[in-house]
Amino acid sequence: MKVKNLIIGAGVTGLSAAYHLQKLGKKDFAVLERAAEPGGVCASVTHKNFTFDYGGHVAHARRAYTRELLKKLLGKNAALIKRKAWVYLQNTFVPFPFQANLSYLKPEIVEECVTALVAARKHKKHIFENFADFALSSYGEGIYKYFMRPYNEKLWRAKAEDLSCVWCADFVPQTDMEDIVKGAYFKTRASYGYNTDFIYPKTGGIGALARALAAETENIFYNTEVKKIDAVKKMVFTNKGIFEYENLINTSPLKTFVSACGGLEKNIYEAAKELKNNKVYVLNLGVNRAVENISWVYFPEDKFKFYRAGVQSGFSPSVAPEGCGAPYVEISAAGNSKKPDFKKLEKEITAALKDAGILKNEDKILAALWLEINPAYVTYDARREIVVPQIIAALKEKNIYGVGRYGAWEYSFMEKNILDAKELAQKL
């Protein structure tokens, strides 16, 4: 088959590219997806009458365009939900963002954090060497020690000093000193950041969004896995045959894409080998009780194996049978680590969730499903900042466009993916 625009992947990015090409009347495209269904990381899985997602997956719609698109796609199935998020530290639920709600902690910790904050802000920098430098300079030793460092090192599986901070603007709520001090002495329950409210489908899990987008899009080839790309002849080799293209839109992981792509300069293959990532294991649980209506909780402490736990049935009760609940936990692991002992881990996790009061001793586990996301978070080390632009530019010279969380090898979210793919469709 020969098309003008060929898209690898039917996750939200690939679907958005196709949807917007089609809207522009440019129907000469095809989407190749190795799975049997759309969604990628944003799919949902049905298991023992529960609908499970790949970890906490909610749609942010900060831009009017995305809000309208989500409304159009989901229609009456869209629910607008207010975030109910906490940080669990020293047996206490501190409202998120941590730095704006210190008053929930012991007075001596509050004092330590506020004193360090005031000292840090005296010499506040505007250019930072790495994430540790950014967090220390912005929030001081106390907030850094109790939350910023342990949480981020657990999530990224990298040292705070080895992480850049280019991702922080979108993901770390920026907090004025006045707000931190106010929140240190009064229970203001300040709530801000990029996801204070979000959209989630009333039924069908987050996968309903990808399915709605796919339903509006033609020319999707499922069960079609890209094995090799010839960047010179502009051909893609799949288990279903050969596709020729003028432009190739890649949303599959950049690292594996480059290794499967023939016809690039040698230094690009070397550069791609430097890309690092973590992987995330999600344990989805189905329990015989409607678990408390919380969105999610961040766990910075080492004694908890997971960095975040949440309750999917808090976003939408319909993901669980009536009277039941669906909590989940997300565990990060190094990209090259071996699979853990899931049975053992499951026991430790249910005990830890009981410890934190998210599960109760009498709760019965009706379903347990592990899902793996690999890659999950791309590692923002100093080399990423150099090699990703090199690789993306080299591919662009061959009319190959890397877009999306994994195609552009970035820390991004569905709204950005949808908008970036729309912009690319318009350019092409």
Ligand X SMILES: Cc1cc2nc3c(=O)[nH]c(=O)nc-3n(C[C@H](O)[C@H](O)[C@H](O)COP(=O)(O)OP(=O)(O)OC[C@H]3O[C@@H](n4cnc5c(N)ncnc54)[C@H](O)[C@@H]3O)c2cc1C
Please tell me whether residue 14 binds ligand X under the rule CB under 6 A: yes
Compute the least distance from the CB of residue 195 to ligand X, in Å. 7
Q: Which is nearer to ligand X, 131 or 406 (CB)?
A: 406
CB under 6 A: which stretch of 11-19, 116-124, 297-305, 386-394 binds ligand X? Answer: 11-19
Site string for ligand X, 301-340 (x = CB under 6 A): -----------------------------x----------
* Residue in the structure block whose two tokens are 């690999």: 374
Please tell me whether residue 413 binds ligand X under the rule CB under 6 A: yes
**What strand order describes the sheet that includes 365-373?**
92-95, 85-89, 296-298, 308-311, 327-334, 278-287, 365-373
Give residue 221's Cα distance to chain centre: 25
Please tell me whether residue 420 binds ligand X under the rule CB under 6 A: no
Handedness of CA 203, 206, 210, 211 (dihedral sign): negative
Please tell me whether residue 252 binds ligand X under the rule CB under 6 A: yes
Give residue 63's Cα distance to chain centre: 18
Helix H or strand E encompassing 211: helix 207-215
Q: Which is nearer to ligand X, 119 or 215 (CB)?
A: 215
Among 7, 50, 57, 418, binds ligand X (CB under 6 A): 57
- CA distances in angstroms from 337 to 277, 278, 279, 374, 384, listed in the order given: 11, 9, 9, 11, 20
Among 20, 34, 154, 234, binds ligand X (CB under 6 A): 34
Is 149 in contact with 168 (CB distance < 8 Å)? Answer: no
Q: Which is nearer to ligand X, 172 or 414 (CB)?
A: 414
At 389, give phi and psi (nearest 5°). -60, -35
Residue 193, Ramachandran bin (φ over 0: left; ψ between -120 and 50: alpha; else beta):
left
Compute the least distance from the CB of residue 10 to ligand X, in Å. 5
Closest residue by Cα to residue 176 from 131, 124, 127, 130: 124
Please tell me whether residue 414 binds ligand X under the rule CB under 6 A: yes
Among 94, 136, 404, 418, binds ligand X (CB under 6 A): 404
Among 12, 105, 143, 165, binds ligand X (CB under 6 A): 12
Please tell me whether residue 145 binds ligand X under the rule CB under 6 A: no
CB under 6 A: which stretch of 7-15, 298-306, 320-328, 334-342 binds ligand X? Answer: 7-15
Among 11, 204, 205, 327, binds ligand X (CB under 6 A): 11
Q: How does DSSP classify residue 274?
A: T
d(CA 139, CA 179): 12
Compute the least distance from the CB of residue 401 to ligand X, in Å. 13
Please tell me whether residue 211 binds ligand X under the rule CB under 6 A: no
Q: Which residues bind ligand X (CB under 6 A)?
A: 8-14, 32-35, 40-42, 55-60, 225-226, 251-252, 280, 330, 373, 376, 404-406, 412-415, 417
